Structures are given as C-alpha cells and as structure tokens.
Structure 1
Amino acid sequence: MREVVLDTETTGFDPLTGDRVIEVAAIELVNLLPTGRHFHALVDPERDVPPESTRVHGFTRADLEGKPKFRDIAAAMLDFLADSPIVAHNAPFDFGFLDAELLRAGRPALDRARMVDSLVLAKARFPGAPNSLDALCRRFGIDLSERTTHNALLDVKLLAAAYLELRGGRQSGLSFEEAPAVALLATEARAPRTPRPILLSAEQEAAHRAFVEKAIKDALWLR
C-alpha cells in the first residue's frame, strides 16, 4: 500500500488573503514504511514573507528569491503524489494552500477523497490531549532534537514516524536512511529458511485426543 506523507510551509494562514506556499515536502511510504523516495522544493512566493512567519519556519524573502515558482514545480509534485492517499497533519490547511496554488497554475485541485488527516486520527486516539506534531513525537518517544524550526522535509519524516504509531505501533525496520527499508524487508523475505516442524510426543497426542473426546461431541479431528 503506497501512501505519501506531505507538509507545506507558507507565508501565512490563509490562501484566500494572498498567502502563498514557500516549501513543499513529501515522502513515500509503502506498507507504512519509508522507501527512501522523497520530493522537496523551495518555492518563490512572489511576495514578501512576514517576520512572524519567518519566526516559525526560518525562511526570509531573500532565501526564496530565485527559487522556482510553484507553477514550475507543480508537474513534478503531482507526478510524485500520483494517485496515492496523502497524509498530512491538519490536512485541510495543506490541501487548501496546494489547491489555491494548483488553480493559480491552471491545474485541477486535489481530490479530497485522498486526504488522510493525522490530526483527526490523533484526536480520536487521544481525545482532549495535545495532538500537535511535537506533542505526538514526545508521546511516542520520537527524537525532536533537530526540529528548531518547522522545516517541511524534517516535519514529514517526523510525521511518518508518528503516523506509523497512530496506525498500530512501531515496526522493526523503520528507518530514514538511504537504504530503503522495504527493499531490506523484501531481501529478508527471499532468504532461504529452515523448516521447523512441531512434533508431538505419544503422551501429548494421547492427552489431546482425550481432551477432544471429552470437550467436543463428534469432533472432526477424530474422524
């Protein structure tokens, strides 16, 4: 099962008042594990970056001058997203900004049926508790030491780890190293294995037969 974990950084909170996307990051998951494939782009928002936004993500207008416009990265982003479900924390925020940028670039909006909101999942699992990405990482013991600002590429890696926990718990092999965890698991699955048959002693077989005869009338095992 392929999914894509996505995050954006923006100049503000509302695309309807002129705020723009300045960063898009996404990583690929297969069966909840990162494969090592990712998409990342810094974007020239074609406007100023307010100081209060810079304090959140660390980007200034000067950092983004000369970067591609959103219309220039839209095709590559959509190719990476393909038709997979898109996981985001407070997903309507990211979808709203991406939809505004896509429409501005003459492309259709994202299908909301693809949206997987990890914030909704977190609230259902921990009602009444703090459920920000930071709070989830602390709750699940995920290392936050590198998160000094809201960098989108780091945030999607953290969210992928938190999403795995929300979907049922950490599995061995979860890694953000360059070697894809899925490939490692596939290699292990192809390795030859030695059969280990379970053999019962005569006493164990007799005890089982006596139990079945007593507990189950006309048991199939005895036919």
Structure 2
Amino acid sequence: MTKRTSAKYKLDRRMGENIWGRPKSPVNRREYGPGQHGQRRKGKLSDFGIQLRAKQKLKGYYGDLTEKQFRRIYAEAERVKGDTGENLIGLLERRLDAVVYRAKFVPTVFAARQFVNHGHVTVNGQKVNIPSYRVKEGDVIEVREKSKQMALVLEATQLPERDVPDYLDVDNSKLTAVFTRTPALGDVPYPVMMEPNLVVEFYAKN
C-alpha cells in the first residue's frame, strides 16, 4: 500500500466517516479510529475540536492539502465579497485537480493531483501541470490524446459511485469537461456533510 493510500484510509478512520464515498473505505467495516487506542470511547468534542475536525475533513477531502495551502485559499475566500464559507468551497472546486476528479477522469482526488502533475491534462488546449491551477468559467479541460487509453482513466469512467455535478459539462467519449459556473456549497456532491462555516469560525479564532 502506498503512503498516499494508507494516509487516505487513515484519514477516513480518524474522521469516522467515509469522506470520499469509496466502497473500499475501512469505515464501512469498522468505525473506530486507527491505532491501538482507536477503540476507546470518544469524549465529547469541544467547540474548538468540532471546528478543527471540520477543517481537517475539508482539507483532507481535497487531497490532504498542506495547512499553508489551505490557509492561503481561506485568506482569499475572506477577501472576496460574499459568504466566506461559500467562497472557500468555490475556490476549492476551481482547483484543476478537483475538476479532473469531479469529471471522473481519474478515480481519486489523490490520483487527480498526480495525473495533472504528470502533464496528462490541457486547459483550453494548453498543457497545464499545476494541480492548484484555478480554472475559470467557460474553461475547457481535456485529457490529452496520448493519455486517453490509460488504465486509470478507463477505470474511472466506469465507476458507479460518483455523479458528475451539473456545474461541469462533461463529454465522456471525448474526455472533455467545460467548467460552466462556480458552485455553491449545495451544488457540490460531497458524500458526507461539509461545514465550511465551522472552518471560518476556526480561523476567526486562531
């Protein structure tokens, strides 16, 4: 098992939730946390603990972003007019790796980051290999011709457990996706409840 995969499953178990909705998640078999003390009865979380958990869950969902990356995105969400929590979700969903994952070009968000990194994706016909690249409304994201027959891509398009959200216009035969609009929280098909308002409270106090 790779470090990435083990980290992904450990995060699921630490949160006690199947945060990506994957059928192989260990939470489907045992809901307690990882490690020798994982089965101890959990105490009631403080407000800080609840907010921290909401931040860890959201940060983890997008490929376990570093704290520095996540705080930078939050700071930008705070500067933009409107609801900071909604802005945060919009900025996270505009990441190129998130769009590649949402379009079902690859099976996991971790694979999406690597897929973009290795130069398998174009935006408006230009190769982009930066996972954090921010797409704009109307951008066309496409799997490069030489990458369309990769086993990873073929596996992802057959996955039954994920729906493509309506803010992406995806053509599965051509492996292209148009980012039609920036989504609000309610538009994003999270398998578990995300609470960006608690993330805002966390950063407001810390």
Give yes or no for TM over 0.5.
no
- More strand by proportion, 1 or 2? 1
TM-score range, shorter chain: under 0.3
